[in-house]
């Protein structure tokens, strides 16, 4: 009889333990903060508190919070869907240290995606933000670098090559951030995506060549009905 723990039999747990750990920690903390206002206030991203009180930890802890169940579910769903791919690709390309690089991708993605909003709102005591969207965008776009021709379902129904969907996502995030018509952190989405691309390419510039080769081999003419 096998003595392997049951949770390791599932390939996702075996292939992407860091992704699963992030999901569990984020889910538990977000759930607690739904009803614990003090915890939420302590961890939320508030640029004014960072500047005036040197509470730099907020650059990272806001990623453990979410506004509601839908916000939490969407971020964790995307992370679950693409985290395994990126975590495995990092280990395949960089060996054992790839797991550490994946941690850096995600954790530094939280802060990198928030820097723009920090400088924009550092004198505004009432500005708050929460959610892991910036780091999740970093993981998503790292996955697109590794497999630009994979088909994504835009809005869950429209099939589209990842490289095209990713490009439209960047344009949309940039436009909506400049428009400022809602309460969604589009700047964090945009800069998180840029971080995911830049960090992954900085680890090995050859990934960019493979990305370009995949696009040429795939061909835009391959998208759509035959």
Q: Which domains does the chain show, CATH number per domain? A: 6-222 (1.20.1540.10)
Q: Which of 31-45, 70-84, 206-220 has the lowest mean pLDDT?
A: 206-220
Contact of 109 with 196, CB cutoff 8 Å? yes
The residue assigned the tokens 């390939």 is 11
DSSP state of 129: B
Q: Which of 11-15, 65-69, 115-119, 181-185 has the lowest mean pLDDT?
A: 181-185
Q: How high is the pLDDT of residue 225?
A: 47
pLDDT digits (tens, 9 = 90+) for 107-146: 999 999 999 999 999 999 999 999 999 999 999 999 999 9
DSSP states along 80-96: HHHHHHHHHHHHHHHGG
What are the residue ranges of helices labelled H in the chain?
6-9, 11-15, 17-35, 37-43, 47-53, 58-61, 69-94, 98-112, 115-121, 133-146, 162-179, 186-203, 206-218
Name the band, by pLDDT with cuts 50, 70 and 90, for residue 76. very high
Helix axes 162-179, 186-203, angle to 10 degrees: 140
Tell me how far apart the alpha carbons of residues 180 and 200 are, in angstroms, rounded to a whole number.
Answer: 29
Q: Is the pTM of this model over 0.75?
A: yes
DSSP states along 31-54: HHHHH-HHHHHHHSB-HHHHHHH-
The residue assigned the tokens 């929460």 is 130
Tell me how far apart the alpha carbons of residues 131 and 26 are, in angstroms, rounded to a whole number.
Answer: 9
Contact of 85 with 146, CB cutoff 8 Å? yes
Tell me how far apart the alpha carbons of residues 206 and 142 are, in angstroms, rounded to a whole number.
Answer: 14
């Amino acid at each position: 009889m096998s003595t392997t723990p049951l949770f390791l039999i599932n390939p996702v747990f075996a292939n992407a333990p860091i992704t699963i750990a992030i999901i569990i920690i984020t889910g538990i903390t977000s759930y607690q903060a739904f009803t614990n206002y003090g915890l939420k206030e302590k961890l939320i991203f508030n640029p004014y508190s960072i500047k005036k009180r040197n509470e730099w930890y907020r650059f990272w802890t806001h990623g453990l919070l979410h506004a509601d169940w839908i916000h939490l579910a969407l971020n964790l769903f995307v992370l679950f869907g693409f985290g395994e791919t990126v975590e495995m690709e990092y280990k395949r390309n960089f060996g054992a240290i790839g797991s550490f690089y994946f941690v850096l991708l995600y954790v530094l993605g939280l802060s990198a995606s928030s820097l723009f909003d920090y400088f924009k709102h550092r004198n505004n005591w009432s500005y708050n933000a929460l959610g892991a969207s910036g780091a999740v965008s970093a993981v998503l776009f790292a996955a697109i670098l590794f497999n630009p021709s994979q088909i994504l379902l835009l809005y869950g129904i429209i099939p589209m090559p990842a490289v095209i969907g990713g490009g439209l996502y960047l344009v949309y995030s940039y436009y909506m951030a400049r428009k400022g018509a809602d309460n969604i952190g589009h700047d964090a989405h945009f800069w998180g995506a840029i971080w995911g691309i830049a960090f992954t390419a900085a680890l090995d510039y050859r990934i960019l060549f493979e990305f370009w080769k995949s696009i040429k081999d795939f061909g835009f003419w391959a998208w759509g009905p035959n």
